[in-house]
Amino acid sequence: MRRSREAAERLRKLEEQVDRMSRVVDRIEVATIVREPSSGLAADAYNGLRKQVVAAASHRTAHLHQLALFANAVEDGQVDGIASLVKEWMAQADLVRMDDASDERYFDVLGGDGDALRVLRPAYIDAATGRAIVMGQAERTAAVEDSAPTADHEVAR
């Protein structure tokens, strides 16, 4: 038994050393990219960074455009217009509102008793990735409510 503990301890130390060596290799790779800007690796890294900056600027412009339309609708008192704008933007972004708490991954359960969940606040899900953008809130209840999801898209799992 003592030998197995010693072997486990030696294995743990070896794992730590391998992890440290891996991090050192990563740092050396980064330093090489910075010091040798003409290398293929540096060119690929720079190109990837450039693409990310361009994409971020494009997303910002799209967001600002949406915000301007939203502000205009608010100032003009177009409540119906705001609702349709938001629905359109959600569809464009593949953002799904989930009013069905059957998948608890997307809801913070705040308490209550019973096997069923009652939605207090819907969740918003990125349908492309299945990732929760805004967690919903639900509470446990004994009453089983028959509610169908209002989402038009199937959420990726």
With bands split at pLDDT 50, 70 and 90, how would you rate the model's confidence at 129?
Answer: very high
The CA-to-CA distance between both ends of the chain, in Å, stands at 44
How confident is the model over 11-30, as a mean pLDDT? 80
Task: Count other C-beta atoms under 10 Å from residue 74's C-beta.
Answer: 12
Task: Count other C-beta atoms under 10 Å from residue 114's C-beta.
Answer: 12
Handedness of CA 102, 103, 105, 106 (dihedral sign): negative
Q: Looking at per-residue confidence, does 59 or 1 come out higher?
A: 59
With bands split at pLDDT 50, 70 and 90, how would you rate the model's confidence at 25?
Answer: confident
- How much is the pLDDT for 29? 72
Rounded to the nearest 5°, which phi and psi values hold at 123? -100, 155
Lowest mean pLDDT among 30-34, 39-43, 112-116, 126-130: 30-34
Angstrom distance (rounded) from CA 33 to CA 154: 42
Q: Is 140 helix (H, G, I), strand (E, B) or coil?
A: strand
Rounded to the nearest 5°, which phi and psi values hold at 102? -65, -25
Q: Is 109 helix (H, G, I), strand (E, B) or coil?
A: strand
- How much is the pLDDT for 154? 54
How confident is the model over 150-154, as a mean pLDDT? 51
- pLDDT over 70, % of the chain: 83
